[in-house]
């Protein structure tokens, strides 16, 4: 609603399959990629950090602890440089991955977006914030120069 108050963009939901893992979701995004040429805006929503067990341990405006900040920095760097192999191995190679994402379901939408963006996509970070120190939110725009009408209206000149 904040991006498009008119809410005049048709929306459909895609269910994730956590038991099928990250590579499956990357392939799923790749299968959706041709829809971009038909003026379809592909939006993926997840969380840059999702460990609700830690949610109450910090005050609302707390700075992120080192284990959150390091993972968040790794995530931004990895996505903006299209290091898909590093992302696929993220649960094993990212700093503090298991602590930031005890389960993958909030991380998997990123793979759908990366797949849909294609190998030529560039990522731009539009927003980054932390709430309670441990709830990390990032808004990443994956783009390849082509913008469907919905993207142009929603993001303007970004």
Give the single-character DSSP code of 139: E
CA pair distance 146, 11, nearest whole angstrom? 20
Residue 45 confidence (pLDDT) above 80: yes
More confident residue, 113 or 52: 113
Q: Which helix (H) or strand (E) holds 100?
A: helix 97-100
From the candidate CATH numbers 2.30.40.10, 3.40.830.10, 3.40.50.720, 3.90.1150.10, the one assigned to the domain spanning 20-155: 3.40.830.10
Q: What is the pLDDT of residue 107?
A: 86
Q: What is the pLDDT of residue 120?
A: 80
Q: What is the pLDDT of residue 67?
A: 94
CA pair distance 155, 11, nearest whole angstrom? 17
């Amino acid at each position: 609603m904040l991006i498009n108050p008119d809410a005049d963009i048709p929306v459909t939901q895609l269910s994730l399959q956590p038991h099928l893992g990250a590579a499956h979701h990357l392939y799923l995004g790749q299968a959706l990629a041709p829809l971009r040429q038909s003026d379809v805006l592909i939006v993926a929503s997840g969380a840059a950090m999702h460990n609700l067990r830690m949610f109450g341990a910090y005050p609302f405006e707390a700075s992120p602890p080192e284990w959150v900040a390091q993972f968040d920095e790794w995530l931004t760097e990895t996505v903006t440089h299209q290091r898909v192999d590093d992302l696929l191995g993220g649960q094993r190679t990212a700093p503090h991955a298991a602590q930031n994402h005890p389960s993958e379901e909030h991380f998997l939408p990123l793979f759908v977006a990366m797949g849909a963006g294609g190998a030529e996509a560039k990522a731009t970070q539009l927003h980054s914030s932390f709430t309670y120190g441990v709830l990390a939110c990032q808004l990443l725009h994956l783009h390849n120069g082509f913008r469907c009408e919905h993207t142009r209206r929603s993001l303007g000149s970004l």
